[in-house]
Each structure stands twice: as C-alpha cells, then as structure tokens.
Amino acid sequence: VGVPYLAINLAHVALGSSLLANLVEGLVRLVLLVAYLAAISLMPDVRRVFAYHGAEHMTIHAFEHGDPLVPERIEPYPTAHPRCGTAFLLFVVFVAIVLFAFLPRVNVAFDLIVRLVLVVPVASISYEVLRFGAAHERSPLMRAIVAPGLLLQRITTRRPDARMIEVAVASLEEAIAGDRETEAAA
C-alpha cells in the first residue's frame, strides 16, 4: 500500500490531478505485482511450487467435471483456473485502482489510513465478483473479467508431474472429507 502511494505522492504535484495520480499509483501497484511474480517464477523452488499450483487447478477441473481423480484423467486439464487466488489477487488490484481513483489526496497519513481501511471492502467486492463469475462463467462479460487472472496464471502455474498430481488429489480428498465431517457435525 505504502510504497506505490509514497512514490506517486511525490509526483502528485507534477501530475496535477488526484485522479491521475491515483490511476498511476494503481498501475505502479499492478506492475510491481506482475514483476514480482515474474521474478520469483525464475527461482527453481518457486517453479516447483507453481507446478504444485498447476496440479491443484488441474485436479479441481477434473473434480468439477466429475472425472475420476487419477493422474491419467487429470493431465489433459489446463493449469489455469478462473477462481484461483492469483486471479483474486489481480482482481483486488483492479478494484483498488477503480475505487482509489476517485479518492482525493489529502495528506500522507489520511490517505494511507483510508487505503488500509478500504482493503476489506476491496477484497470483499473482488471475492463477490469472482463468486458471481463462477455462477455465470459462460457469460462473455464474465469471461472478459476473468481473462486477466487466467493470463497471470501463465506465470504462477506450471505443468506438474504425476507425483504432484497425486499430492493434489490427496489434498482435495482430505478437504472433501473435512467438509463432510463439518457438515455431519452441524
């Protein structure tokens, strides 16, 4: 929150507009996010984590399509998933850009407090839009809204090996069992 704000706050006078300064701040935030993800994706350990991430998505796809949860049936599915946390994070950045664009710049302390207070509403709006998108995934509008998140997942997911898929299957099966236990106890 603070670094992009402080950097753009210095240029606010030169930009001459709170709206323009806030939009530039949001773009700086977006560039930092993508650059960070791209940079860490070059690390071998992170590439391995991203392969597990891809295995998770592929397994969820198979589960949602009613396919058996075995590597041979999971392997054809894509590593990207529309309801991924990466897509959520990107959507939070987009919602923040839109919402913060219309906030006046008062002073550093006030502006940072307002941005911190708005983190929960921004995350809530983002979550609800992605949830709505899940219910209307065939809608061209929702496909357009989800597309940037799917594109970003080209950085945050990799093709897994069969062992990684087996781990994803075991994790999903444990999550399903946990849900059943919770529902039975309720």
8 Å CB contact between 112 and 154: no
Which is more confident, 22 or 79?
Answer: 79
pTM, rounded to two decimals: 0.84
What is the reported pLDDT for 7? 66
pLDDT tens for residues 134-185? 888 889 998 998 899 999 999 999 999 999 999 999 999 999 999 888 888 8
123 — pLDDT class (breaks 50, 70, 90): very high
pLDDT above 90 covers a percentage of the chain that reads 62
Give the lowest-confidence range in 1-15, 52-66, 103-117, 132-146: 1-15
Q: How many Cα atoms are found within 13 Å in the side-chain-facing hemisphere of 166?
A: 3
The torsion angle over the Cα atoms of residues 154, 92, 175 and 79, rounded to 10 degrees, is -10
